[in-house]
Amino acid sequence: MLPKERILEKTFSLFHVQGYNATGINQIIEEAKVAKASFYQHFKSKEDLCVAFLNQRHFFWFEELKKFTNKEEEVKLKVLASFDFLMYMNKNENFRGCSFLNILSEIQSDNTKILEVIQNHKSDLRTYFSEIINNNLLADHVYLLFESCIIESQLFKSNQLIYQTKKIIQTLIL
């Protein structure tokens, strides 16, 4: 694996598990087994590394979401499958929650470079639901339920509210 790939691979796990602020560049360099000069050849700053991580996470996350939902034809089943995806991610990532929201809580409010990537991810998710559901108000409602499920399941380390939300969605989407 090339140095840049090793750096991103380590960052992918460290930022997601430890968080942005708790992960230092020196730890990433050490665990990725790259020279400091090599790190800075690929990333000018920790902020640039975070942007690369979030872009990589965005791609990974949407690819996994599509694996869960693309097999479904019916709108209701596709939306329900997206909540199954959340439960799958919670199980695989030990209820760590949304990397984007976790990093949002750690950055300074004036960090527009990282904030823009986070906003784009959430906008893409909102668009994703609006493309599935041909009703913008209902799509926004489902998007907000989805986002709240991410937070609640992380907070309580449980998928219980996701199951409840799936029941709610069955009454919303006919």
Domain containing residue 15: CATH number: 1.10.10.60
| In a shared domain, residues 36 and 122 | no
pLDDT at 17: 85
Domain endpoint, select from 10, 26, 43: 43
| In a shared domain, residues 81 and 67 | yes
pLDDT at 174: 80
| In a shared domain, residues 97 and 132 | yes
What is the DSSP secondary structure assignment for residue 173, as one 8-state letter?
Answer: -
pLDDT at 38: 94
| In a shared domain, residues 69 and 19 | no
Count CB atoms within 10 A of the CB of residue 124.
12
167 vs 83: CA distance, rounded Å: 11
| In a shared domain, residues 8 and 53 | no
| In a shared domain, residues 25 and 68 | no
Task: Give the CATH number, domain containing residue 151.
Answer: 1.10.357.10
CA neighbours within 13 Å on the CB side: how many for 84?
13
| In a shared domain, residues 38 and 54 | no
| In a shared domain, residues 61 and 146 | yes
pLDDT at 16: 83
Residue 19's domain spans which residues?
1-43
- The three-point CA angle 23-103-116 to 5° equals 125
Asked if 82 and 146 touch (Cβ cutoff 8 Å), the reply is yes
| In a shared domain, residues 35 and 99 | no
Nearest one of 161, 117, 144, 148 to 15, comparing CA atoms: 117
pLDDT at 143: 98
- The three-point CA angle 69-136-133 to 5° equals 25
| In a shared domain, residues 60 and 102 | yes
172 vs 174: CA distance, rounded Å: 6
Q: Domain total for the chain?
A: 2
pLDDT at 1: 87
Kindly give the confidence (pLDDT) of every residue in the chain, 174 residues in length, as a single tens digit, with 9 standing for 90 and above: 899 999 999 999 899 889 999 999 999 999 999 999 999 999 999 999 999 999 999 999 999 999 999 999 999 999 999 999 999 999 999 999 999 999 999 999 999 999 999 999 999 999 999 999 999 999 999 999 999 999 999 999 999 999 999 999 999 998
| Structure-block tokens of residue 104 | 């949002």
| In a shared domain, residues 88 and 144 | yes
| In a shared domain, residues 91 and 159 | yes
pTM assigned to the model? 0.94
